[in-house]
Structure 1
Amino acid sequence: MDLSSEDVFVVLGPVDETLLADILATGASVRDLAEAWAWVNADEALMNEGRRLPAGKVAELVDLLEVDDETP
């Protein structure tokens, strides 16, 4: 199931309209977004658990979230 605006707000909290549109355009699921958010916030811990690096939609979301995280 594709994400809705409400899903994004539940997982990430408030985001700007551009990031919201970019996230929704990925066609990702809530699970994909939650996993991407976990990678952005705890990548070392996830690697230590032996998880594979993100791929596909999760990797796309990680890229979007990391760029937004770097914006002042």
Structure 2
Amino acid sequence: MTMTREDILAVLGPTDETLLAEILATGASAEELREAWAWLNGDEALMSEGRPLPGTRVAALIDLLDPDEQVG
């Protein structure tokens, strides 16, 4: 299911309209956004859990949320 503006705000908190639009344009789900947020805020913990590297949409979200971050 595609996420809504409210889903994004629930994960990120207040954010600018441009970022909201860019995130919505990815077609990602709210779960993918939560996964991207988790990678940005604790990727070492996720890797030590044996989780696979982020998929394409999650990686795109990571790039939007933290353009300086290199994934993969």
TM-score exceeds 0.5 = yes
Count of aligned residue pairs for this structure pair: 69
Counterpart residue type for residue 63 of structure 2 = D
Kindly report the root-mean-square deviation, in angstroms, between the aligned alpha carbons of the 2 structures: 1.6
Q: TM-score, normalised by structure 1?
A: 0.88
Find the aligned partners of 1:32 and 1:68 in 2 and give their Cα distance.
19
Q: TM-score, normalised by structure 2?
A: 0.88
Q: Percent identity?
A: 64
Find the aligned partners of 2:27 and 2:41 in 1 and give their Cα distance.
22
Question: Which portions of structure 1, spanning 4 or more consecutive aligned residues, are displaced by more than 6 angstroms?
Answer: none
**Structure 2 residue 51 is matched with structure 1 residue 51:** yes
Structure with the largest fraction of helix: 1
Per-residue deviation, residues 30-65 of structure 1 (Å, max 9, x unmatched): 100000000010011101111111011111101111
